[in-house]
Structure 1
Amino acid sequence: MTTQVTTGLDQQTRDIVKATVPILQERGGEITKRFYQLLFENHPELKNIFNQTNQRKGDQSKALANTVYAAALHIDQLEEILPQVKQIAHKHKSLNIKPEHYPIVGENLLLAMKDVLGDAANEDVIGAWEKAYGVIAGVFIDTEKEMYQEAIDTVGGWVDYRDFKVVDKVAESDVITSFYLEPVDDNPFPIYQPGQYITIKAEIDGEPHSHLRQYSLSCAPGEGIYRISVKREDALADNPAGIVSNYLHSKVNKGGVVSISAPSGDFTLNQNDTRPLVLISGGVGLTPMMSMLESTIKQQPEREIYYIHAAQNSNVHAMKDRVKEIAEQYNHVHAYTVYDNPSDEDNYDKKGYIDYEWLTSILPSNDAAFYFCGPKGFMRAMYQNLKKYDVADRDINFEFFGPAAAITE
């Protein structure tokens, strides 16, 4: 990526924006919550793009609040937020966000600021933020333009959505099912980087709008197929059943067709690193880990790998036989299983959780490349374990579809 950041904002505008940093830190969540209310009231068609489940949970509001706060904090040097911009831009590309969406977002964001902040959002503040938003939006638009162009220039690449047929459907556990996908048009389709994801666009009978969901690709690139492994999200006391996951499990069968976006995401395996690779997953978080594992044994068969997976028990543990097969075939692969609630028949290496003492007892050193993925609480615990283990920040890599602060703070 070659995106350049030139604000072109006068000093007075930047000073006013920076002066809003404390109030954004305090009330950013209120502003973004109100923003989404206004956005969907004024533009209900955008419900076809934004994940309404994340809206109910508040995850989207928190992520946007963090971005707005970071932009205000670094308004003098917006290049400081480029890593964050690029991560979000990958998601925007996967959701097919376009330049014409940004003025709509800006208008409603300013309206939300006025509503929430009242007199504190005077004419000078709103004017400064209008200018600043134009610059910030331009950074996103330019970054995403490069990504879209890269997709177009890639052999078999595409923009928007493309129909893929389900050539196989395999139950991996009681709750996880894999879908093997090939393009309906039989034209080439691009390989991807281990760890990347695609977006499924689900048009479900009885639903008033489209549902978009991102799923990590769970096999090694270059196998002539895309595979996603989807956990069926059943209803819990505080959460309704997953609309798309249940639709895929119950309605989409072998021979069916789904619309997907091209692979995206910056949570990718560094295949130039030869140090030990540590892959840690919880539950369905194993999907990008499996892609990284399968890819590494093909590309770096001598590389030391520690594959650690946590699940409730064997009934919900997907792909355990494949991991066992790999560990038996490759002497450099060390596989460990942790079950929180095992049955009497289960085979596992540890009961309970992946704690610091156990984790450090099975690893040779903290000088390794660490990748982890799983539920939010699991990921927060893994991050804390690795920080306690004095793992360098550059070696801590994780995928989380939400604000990173939920993991790191």
Structure 2
Amino acid sequence: MLNQAQKEAIKATIPVLKANGVALTSYFYERMFRHNPELKHIFNQGNQHSGKQPTALAGAVLAYAEHIDDPSVLASALMGIGHKHVSLNIRPEQYDLVGQHLLASIGEVLDLPGDSPLLEAWALAYDQLATLMAGVENKMYRQTLGQTGGWSGWRPFIIRQKVQESAEITSFYLYPSDGGQVASFLPGQFVSVRLFLPEINLLQPRQYSLSNAPNGAYYRISVKRESGSSLRPDGMISNRLHNFTREGDVVELTPPAGGFTLKQDQPGPVVFISGGVGQTPLLSMAETVLNTHSPRPMIWVHGARNKTSHAFRELLNTWSQRSDTLRFFNFYEQPDEPLAPNPAVIPGRVDLHLIKAFIILPQATYYLCGPEPFLRQQYGDLIALGVKPENINYEEFGPQTLTLRQEFVVNEAV
């Protein structure tokens, strides 16, 4: 247990973490992979290469230091991290190894002696955090194992179908190779997929949203082909899935996880706002609402380059024709002929101000998913249009680096 003097020592490092946090976490990852290269099989090397993972960790370490007096304030963020860790099959014993490298990195970067009181304080703080996280994750593991079709760790799945949805996005229908059932999931959750990449001689995991409603038999992921090469790991898994996998091939999955989920107990309208492949978790949500024959109105605002790049366009059009509760607004940067009568096509990038009369509704809940700039723009526009932050939910693909609610609250206070 940290005493008050140790908490003050932790808080005294906040200016250093603000100024040099990413440098510290980058050093930490380099050190850890140098001493324990086997951990490269667990960590997404694309996020390491892009700098997103060191940035996310730096933000988490800073937030923990800022709230060392009451870490419970971070409960929501820790739950999000817990979901990612469970999806990667992170186990409690790995916290010890990570902690050794993190503390050593703090000492080496700050040039502290081994018996430094600051290092002792951070060691206690890390143990406190690791114990908290292990408890959160252990509960998640138990919940999954307790489900019909639930499992723990990596499980082999067969690609039964591979369906091209657009010029860039392909769906993969994944069935367990043991012929058993699959665990149910909450609409909006994701699975981790693991493949071996001979280009870098590593197993690599990636998270993909489940793009269908729960059915007990299979999962569907819909993957955008990203740029990538042997020298640039970002996109290597998506390219391998697109170019090298065939129907009948086997991939490994962990059970569904994730906190960006449809709030099914709320009666008000649902407004989905997506950009590009960000539509995938929203597909699961919308299909679930339709399957339950809920009277909740649904409005879906989507941004794409053009009709060719708009995945699931025909399916969504079919949904809108069979349901009078679902309406679409599609923004195309390169519009071609209109898609009449529904969904509407609007030239340009998504601009919520143009359709505010249709989306600013009493008791509505908003779900945003897309690239980082897209999320920031749409979140800001919703706030400007009078939507309360607690009614806005968003999913950032990859490591969590956005804190939009806090950012906009601060901006409004200035």
TM-score per shorter chain, which class? over 0.9
Q: Does 1:246 align with 2:239?
A: yes
8 Å Cα contact 2:360/2:385 also seen in 1: no
- The aligned counterpart of 1:215 is 208
- The aligned counterpart of 1:290 is 283
Q: CA deviation at 1:188?
A: 1.9
Superposition pairs for residues 87-236 of structure 1, below 5 Å?
87-118=80-111, 123-222=116-215, 224-235=217-228
Out of 29, 52, 66, the position equivalent to 1:73 is 66
Superposition pairs for residues 25-104 of structure 1, below 5 Å?
25-104=18-97
- The aligned counterpart of 1:265 is 258
Q: CA deviation at 1:107?
A: 1.3
Q: CA deviation at 1:406?
A: 6.3
Q: CA deviation at 1:264?
A: 0.4
8 Å Cα contact 2:338/2:345 also seen in 1: no
Relative to 1, partners in 2 of residues 1:210 and 1:239: Cα closer, same or farther, differing over 3 Å?
closer
Q: Read off the aligned partner of 2:316 and give its amino acid letter.
A: V
Superposition pairs for residues 331-370 of structure 1, below 5 Å?
331-343=324-336, 349-365=345-361, 367-370=363-366
Tell me whether 146-155 or 342-351 shows the greater mean CA deviation.
342-351
Q: Read off the aligned partner of 2:120 and give its amino acid letter.
A: G
Q: 1: CA distance between counterparts of 2:92 and 2:348?
A: 48
Between the two proteins, what is the percent identity of the paired residues? Answer: 36
Q: Read off the aligned partner of 1:281 and give its amino acid letter.
A: S
Q: Read off the aligned partner of 2:86 and give its amino acid letter.
A: K
Q: CA deviation at 1:357?
A: 1.5
Aligned residues: 401
Q: CA deviation at 1:120?
A: 10
Q: Deviations over 1:317-365 (max 9, x none)?
A: 1001111111111111111111012235777521111124214133242
Relative to 1, partners in 2 of residues 1:366 and 1:377: Cα closer, same or farther, differing over 3 Å?
farther
Q: CA deviation at 1:166?
A: 1.2
- TM-score (ref. length: structure 1): 0.93
Q: CA deviation at 1:388?
A: 1.0
Superposition pairs for residues 7-22 of structure 1, below 5 Å?
8-22=1-15
Q: Read off the aligned partner of 1:378 and give its amino acid letter.
A: F
Tell me whether 316-325 or 106-115 shows the greater mean CA deviation.
106-115
Q: CA deviation at 1:150?
A: 1.1
Q: 1: CA distance between counterparts of 2:278 and 2:301?
A: 11
8 Å Cα contact 2:144/2:150 also seen in 1: yes
Report runs of 4+ in structure 1 exceeding 6 Å deviation: 238-241
Q: 2: CA distance between counterparts of 1:52 and 1:271?
A: 36
8 Å Cα contact 1:366/1:389 also seen in 2: no
Q: CA deviation at 1:376?
A: 1.1
Consecutive unaligned residues of structure 1, counting only runs of 5 or more, are 1-7
Q: Determine helix, strand or coil for the equivalent of 2:202.
A: coil
Q: 1: CA distance between counterparts of 2:323 and 2:352?
A: 26
Relative to 1, partners in 2 of residues 1:256 and 1:119: Cα closer, same or farther, differing over 3 Å?
closer
Consecutive unaligned residues of structure 2, counting only runs of 5 or more, are 408-414
Out of 400, 403, 407, the position equivalent to 2:400 is 403
8 Å Cα contact 1:277/1:304 also seen in 2: yes
